[in-house]
Amino acid sequence: MLFIKDLVLLLTFYGVIESKHFRSDYTYHQDVDGWLKLHAVPGTWHDARQRCYLEGAVLASPVSAYMQNALRFEMNKSSSECAGIYVGVHSLFSKGYFYSLEGVPLSKMPVQWLPGEPDNAGNNEECIAYVHGRVADVNCSEVLPFVCYKKSTENMSVMPCGTTDRAYEFSAKTGSCYKLHKTPLIWAQAFKVCSAEGGYLAIINSRDEASVIKDINSRHNPTGSKFEVTYIGLVDWSKDRVWRTVHGQLLEEVGYAEWGIGQPDNASPGEHCGGMFPNAKLDDYWCDRVAKFLCEKDPDSLQD
């Protein structure tokens, strides 16, 4: 009996330790050998899939009884009523053929349809909601909460930046971690990516930090034009030419306000988002144009 108690304690301890190998806003579930997180703020199915992906996970699917138990556990943790959630099952590729994002057919999952489902209302229901242990086809544009899942894998370890994302690099000079995203996005999408990764669009607080960021940019983008813009966490919030960081600080308060030559110029029809040139000098830029962007995060932002 003592051996069994010790084994239970050991497994419990193991679960706690393992949970630190991904991110603290996810909960480790031993039965599904991975971590789950309920997003209580509802979104469309496409928003849910993207958010999970940006966090390094996938939109969870009820592929087994163990996963269904884990999903219900996460749903019960919500402070608000959570009758149904999006799962990663869809028929977007071929109507009526439902598969999980990992390629598991719905017919192989231990679930039943709700009464009257599937009904393909309006010939426009290609996503699946999980409701009280059953499923229903729904319009992918409806907004529902959702659960993300990260499966444990071999050689999965947290880097010095407190994340499993090896693209983040730590700077001892600033105490922050940085990641240059070379796939261009508009400013609002760049903000979303950095947030999902546990960080924010980079804020330059000093000339020393500007030097660090300039080095990162040159190493990861050695052939870029000297006029190429990289988005950072700077924005003209009220479009009144008063520049603030994404944390609400006035540009003059953060310790670095060195603009490029002739900048900011508010070129027509108006440049209200902030970026930097490869030399780390600041530039105002059009928010709806795509550009590379730089994320910054605290090494402890995803860990307890």
Give the model confidence (pLDDT) of 6-16 as tens digits. 433 333 333 33
In this prediction, residues 155-173 reach a mean pLDDT of 90
Q: Please tell me whether residues 195 and 272 are part of one structural domain.
A: yes
For residue 158, tell me if it sits in a domain.
no
Q: Are 274 and 249 in contact (CB under 8 A)?
A: no
Strands (E), 60-211: 84-90, 99-100, 112-113, 127-131, 134-138, 144-151, 169-170, 177-185, 200-201
Q: Please tell me whether residues 184 and 46 are part of one structural domain.
A: no
Q: Please tell me whether residues 132 and 173 are part of one structural domain.
A: no
Q: Please tell me whether residues 121 and 228 are part of one structural domain.
A: no
Please determine, for residue 193, whether its predicted confidence score (pLDDT) is greater than 80.
yes
Can you give the pLDDT at residue 2?
39
Q: Please tell me whether residues 135 and 218 are part of one structural domain.
A: no
Which residues constitute the domain of residue 15?
Answer: 2-151
Residue where a domain terminates, one of 89, 118, 151: 151
For residue 258, tell me if it sits in a domain.
yes
**Number of domains making up the chain:** 2
Q: Please tell me whether residues 275 and 238 are part of one structural domain.
A: yes
Please determine, for residue 182, whether its predicted confidence score (pLDDT) is greater than 90.
yes
pLDDT in tens, 198-257: 999 999 999 999 999 999 999 988 777 888 999 999 999 999 999 999 999 999 899 999
How far is Cα 145 from Cα 268, in angstroms, rounded to an integer? Answer: 40
For residue 160, tell me if it sits in a domain.
no
Q: How many residues does the chain have?
A: 304
In this prediction, residues 71-78 reach a mean pLDDT of 89
**pLDDT class of 292 with cuts at 50, 70, 90:** very high
For residue 31, tell me if it sits in a domain.
yes
Q: Give the contacts of 81 (CB within 8 A, at least 6 positions apart).
A: none
Can you give the pLDDT at residue 226?
81
Q: Please tell me whether residues 189 and 70 are part of one structural domain.
A: no
Q: Please tell me whether residues 181 and 218 are part of one structural domain.
A: yes
CATH value at residue 40: 3.10.100.10
For residue 126, tell me if it sits in a domain.
yes
Q: Are 148 and 29 in contact (CB under 8 A)?
A: no
Can you give the pLDDT at residue 54?
96
Residue where a domain terminates, one of 105, 122, 151: 151
For residue 13, tell me if it sits in a domain.
yes
Q: Please tell me whether residues 97 and 229 are part of one structural domain.
A: no
Q: pTM for the complete prediction?
A: 0.86
For residue 164, tell me if it sits in a domain.
no
Please determine, for residue 118, whether its predicted confidence score (pLDDT) is greater than 50.
yes
For residue 304, tell me if it sits in a domain.
no
